A and B are shown apart, each in its own frame.
Chain A
């Protein structure tokens, strides 16, 4: 469908925000309303170069106004063209796609871990959690990491939402020196060791693959449920081409045996349970 650009502006360096008016999509459909962790496939040019659509997570979802916002980093040809689009231009998008984050009913604390541009879907998620009234004020904790202070995005968004924010930069010029994983590792969040998983604290993570793997490891050690949003190159975005696969572990119903199957990040994800992913293979 065609969406109209309401705003497209640079935040800092290579980071941009784009606001899209996309009425039809936000009306509840069979697929449901767009939710945090889901994404759109955006056709940045009507020509054949770049040829494929580009996947972008929802950074903010305003159902009332019919507005979707994305936060993006210019890394190549497609995002470069996006950054040059103007207010009033229309772009062709497919949305909502994929499976987003699921917010467990009994969750008491959400721990959001975001590396670099991975922060984008976390803002929509925090807003949704807050909107649901889940977790009292302060019970959303966010760990953001980036190379320099200019790579730390959305700090103000999280503060507005009322989340507690911890920051790390690799050069140490803002917040702690290190990565968001280091920050999270040094935190004291832990679920009590017990035979039955206590789902009161839930981790949600998005960022580079290595970072997600590290977060998944910590989550496992601390026996905390962890959802990760994966990033794979995509062609169709709808589960048809089987191009965006990730190796996952699955229990077969009959044999109680673990098998490894490829799943589509676009359709079965992009959000997966960290435990489901075969981190060695991907």
Chain B
């Protein structure tokens, strides 16, 4: 079954010469192709303009924003691991108002969708952030990061508890009309339980996965390599885990799913779509090759042409259950 919902009304316009249609619709957001840049790995877009034509991407998900700016964690914040990296950036960001005033005008110039990733320390903070965005021109959708600790309830991460997930997503849903994507944490026993809580609370789509919790130790100094001791693992090392979670969630939940985790090439992207993702995000790959996202778009197009796929929506979730 096709989970991506409505197909593009304008898809005719977007078909290329050979007739492959890459457009998808996620939660009412029309994307010219399923490739987005993942939050925290693409800055606010500007950083990548020397390397990527932003117009070629389906969407840009900006670095996670909060109600006021955040300092983030002390360094060292990153460490390389086998086929991946750990980060403990600590959600450093410039705050929602600075984003709207200083960064958004630049992004508005491009023909690509802008999705704002956001978070808070409490349910109220989440709601405050979304209220600021409801009638702002140039924001096409919201991605809610629920992998953050809740300071009012023992610093338990919202996204690891179905009840907290339901409450925070419901509250945000009441405060915004924008398409709402909930980004799930993989650090849970059963991701479909959290996915269901988010769906029941009114999410329009789900994106997964965020980074996997991990750590690394320097055996010479006998100290953790990150100042924060633990961090989030990303990159090709997490791809099989992410793929499985996308597949599981796609089977269990009738919402469009955005697949994230270790996507480096178009082959990886296609794999995620076959597992049930309606779109994908490119994260850490941007660090290795700043043009990775654009190359993935081109690769997906060639793949479709070579395999006689007229519409990318045909392949979504195309593996036996």
Contacts and interface: CB of A to CB of B under 8 A. Distances in A.
Interface size class of A (residues with CB under 8 A): 20 to 34
Given A94-B290, A236-B286, A262-B92, A241 B83 contact: no
Contacts of B235: 48, 51
Query: Mostly helix, strand, loop or mixed at chain B's interface?
Result: loop
A233 interface: yes
Nearest to A76: B80
Interface string A169-211: 0000000000000000000000000000000000000000000
Contacts of B84: 48, 51
Interface residues of B, number: 35
B151 to A, nearest CB: 22
A226 to B, nearest CB: 22
A28 to B, nearest CB: 14
Interface string B1-40: 0000000000000000000000000000000000000001
B236 interface: yes
Contacts, number: 97
Query: Mostly helix, strand, loop or mixed at chain A's interface?
Result: loop
Contacts of A267: 47
Given A51-B84, A233-B79, A236-B286, A241 B92 contact: no
Nearest to B235: A51
B48 interface: yes
Given A52-B80, A242-B77, A235 B85 contact: yes
Contact of A241 (B71, B74, B78, B264): B78
A135 interface: no
A269 to B, nearest CB: 13
A243 B89 contact: yes
B92 to A, nearest CB: 5
Interface string B219-256: 00000000000000001100000000000000000000
A282 interface: yes
A162 interface: no
A242 B42 contact: no
A43 B288 CA distance: 8
Nearest to A92: B289
A262 B287 contact: no
B75 A241 contact: no
B154 interface: no
Interface string B137-150: 00000000000000
A142 B284 CA distance: 40
A245 interface: yes
Given A49-B83, A51-B80, A281-B74, A240 B287 contact: yes
A61 interface: no
A241 B41 contact: yes
Interface of B: 40-43, 47-48, 50-51, 63, 71-72, 74-85, 87, 89, 92, 235-236, 264, 284, 286-290
8 contacts: A29-B50, A48-B82, A48-B236, A235-B87, A235-B284, A243-B77, A244-B78, A245-B92
Given A43-B289, A52-B287, A238-B48, 12 more contacts: A48-B235, A51-B81, A51-B82, A94-B290, A232-B75, A240-B47, A241-B78, A243-B89, A262-B71, A267-B47, A281-B74, A282-B75
